[in-house]
Amino acid sequence: MKRLFVMSALAVLFVLPGCSQEKVSQSPSFNEVLTSRRSIRSYDASKKISEAEVRQLLLATQEAPSWANQQPSKYYVAISPEKLEAVQNLVGGNKDRIKDAPVLIVSTYERGKSGFFQGNPANEVGDGWGAYDNGLSNCYLVLQARAMGFDTLIMGMRDANALRQLFNIPENETVMAVIALGYRKGDPRHPNHRKLDDIVKFY
């Protein structure tokens, strides 16, 4: 009889509203992050992203590797209505695609750091290593964004000189990309990828 009472009490706990165990939210797996990340060209205007969330996101970029830990990447965040509108007018044909993104991030790197040893280029790539490191940093950014439920679009069409003036970007920094950050509007298609054997050779 006592056993029956205990079992009945447990059953009530799992059935009554407000008494059931809360569903534990789980972070997506790394594979889910990789396979669900897309270049998003339409954003949900009703969803916003806070400065605190952007700060949390950009912390991930500091974990990215760089040449001799030079950390050449810099980020300039447009989050106010005025700056957002200004940057939207500087990304060419992508303007309408990112008009509802709540955050736009300008990515740059400091020249003369990555790829250099004692002030001289370490090899023929030279400052190309700065761009390489910036790409690694941006990779961490877009993957962390997806892990947080956000979406991104990396844009190479941009007016570098106008962006430099808008954000007072120093002359020793190269303006690379503008990255839109927001929430996708609709589900994008999965793009076709080249066969692995077309890009990989084993010896």
* Domain of residue 109, CATH code: 3.40.109.10
Is residue 141 a part of any domain in this protein? yes
Tell me whether residue 142 is in a domain.
yes
Mean pLDDT by groups of 10 residues along the chain of 203 residues: 44 39 68 92 97 98 98 98 98 97 98 96 97 98 98 98 98 98 91 94 97
Is 197 domain-assigned?
no
pLDDT value at residue 25: 60
pLDDT for the residue numbered 130: 98
- Domain with 63, as residue range(s), is 27-186
Q: What is the pLDDT of residue 159?
A: 98
Structural domains of the chain, count: 1
State the SS3 of 2-68.
HHHHHHHHHHHHHHCCCCCCCCCCCCCCHHHHHHHCCECCCECCCCCCCHHHHHHHHHHHHHCCCHH
On whether residue 162 sits in a domain, the answer given is yes
pLDDT at 105: 98
> Please, which residues have CB within 8 angstroms of residue 138's CB and are 6 or more apart in sequence?
61, 73, 107, 154, 176, 177, 179
Indicate whether 17 belongs to any domain. Answer: no
**Residue 21 falls inside a structural domain:** no
CA angle 196, 200, 201 (to 5 degrees): 135
Looking at residue 89, its pLDDT comes to 98
Q: Would 6 be classed as within a structural domain?
A: no
178 in any annotated domain: yes
- What pLDDT, on the 0 to 100 scale, is given for residue 12? 37
